[in-house]
Amino acid sequence: MSEHKSQPLTYAGAGVDIQAGNRAVGLMKEAVRSTFRPGVLTDIGGFGGLFALDTAKYREPVLISGTDGVGTKLRVAHLTGVHHSIGIDAVAMCVNDILVQGAEPLFFLDYLAVGKLVPERVAEIVKGVAEGCRQAGCALIGGETAEMPGFYGEEEYDIAGFAVGVVDRSRIISGSGIQAGDVVIGLPSSGLHSNGYSLARKALLEVAGYRMEDHLPELDRTLGEEMLMPTRIYVKPVLSLMEKYNLKGLAHITGGGLTENIPRVLPEGVKVVLDRSAWPVLPVFKLIQRIGRVAEEEMLRTFNMGIGMVMMVSPQQAEELVRELAAQGETAYIIGRVEAGQKAVEYTGR
């Protein structure tokens, strides 16, 4: 085998720029530090993030963890060139999931893989992660940025998140106490959140032929702005309710919609009946359904349809809980009830 005569290889020449990575870390430091809360013991740059659990606050602490990504919504960020909000989605998908079991989010870590490391873009993405952490009250304690030329295109990236929270064992919300007669309360979503984008893109971009910069009167904003609307983070209002009310069960409405997510927290022997006229369906869902001629059943098992978080409480507490949220500036809807039956969701109205 003959030896190939060429210039000496370098990591940068192979497509990985260590200096750009260092500059990206410098650009994101301020945003990351803005998320620190009591318990954080390390600064940026270590091999691991240290967090001291407040054992005086929790008698029998149980750690609850969750991980998720943003999915096909990333393609919208690529198409629009807008990257400052996608990090909020990465945080929201994780902290909302651990919240439903009663956990207070403590800290968050992110994993960002890029085709070409552009420090300013990476910093923009991580600033979104930091904003999500501030909304959730958790610390951005660590992360990884991996430059992977040849695996991702130069403009492509993927992001995943990991959240850890804590709850006293006696206050874990398991759904086991849900019973017939309980009331179902829904908190509104901000839009598509981070689910159903494959179907949304098929309907809006391929069937309708819309472009991201198109201003659609039904939405009162551009399509890109609508599709990049960040996922709502429900941590602060829901944690405040846990201090005063018996939240028997919660469901984060993600992929699978209301139809698939609510049964995940129901005990055997009960079902949930939702009144479809009890909350407003956001215009983006009506647009997708009309353009794609999507069946109602398919919409309800794909999208959140305007409800991002569901809570089950006793009828004695329902009205007061809704008033409490209103006093906080939060909207809530009584959207259904729990009845005896097989574990499922049924619909009335409309």
Q: For each of the chain's 350 residues, which pLDDT tens digit applies?
A: 455 566 786 667 767 777 777 777 777 777 778 888 888 887 777 778 888 898 888 899 999 999 999 989 999 999 999 999 999 999 999 999 999 999 999 999 999 999 998 989 999 999 999 999 999 999 999 899 999 998 988 889 999 999 999 999 999 999 999 999 999 999 999 999 999 999 999 999 999 999 999 999 889 899 999 999 999 999 999 999 998 999 999 999 998 999 999 999 999 999 999 999 999 999 999 999 999 999 999 999 999 999 999 999 999 999 999 999 999 999 999 999 999 999 999 999 87
Instruction: Find the angle CA(248)-CA(89)-CA(328) to the nearest 5 degrees.
Output: 50
Positive or negative, the CA dihedral 183, 188, 192, 194 is negative
Structural contact between residues 31 and 12, judged by C-beta atoms closer than 8 angstroms: no
For the chain, give every domain's residue range.
18-171, 183-348
* Element of type H or E holding 33: helix 18-33
Structural contact between residues 105 and 165, judged by C-beta atoms closer than 8 angstroms: yes
Assigned CATH for 18-171: 3.30.1330.10
Spatial distance between the Cα atoms of 36 and 341, rounded to a whole number of angstroms: 46
Question: Count of residues for the chain?
Answer: 350
The superfamily CATH assigns to domain 183-348 is PurM-like C-terminal domain (3.90.650.10)
Positive or negative, the CA dihedral 130, 132, 134, 137 is negative
Q: Give the 3-state secondary structure percentages of the chain, helix then strand then coil, rounded to 5.
A: 35, 25, 40
Positive or negative, the CA dihedral 91, 93, 99, 103 is negative
Q: At what angle are helices 315-327 and 235-242 packed, to 10 degrees?
A: 130
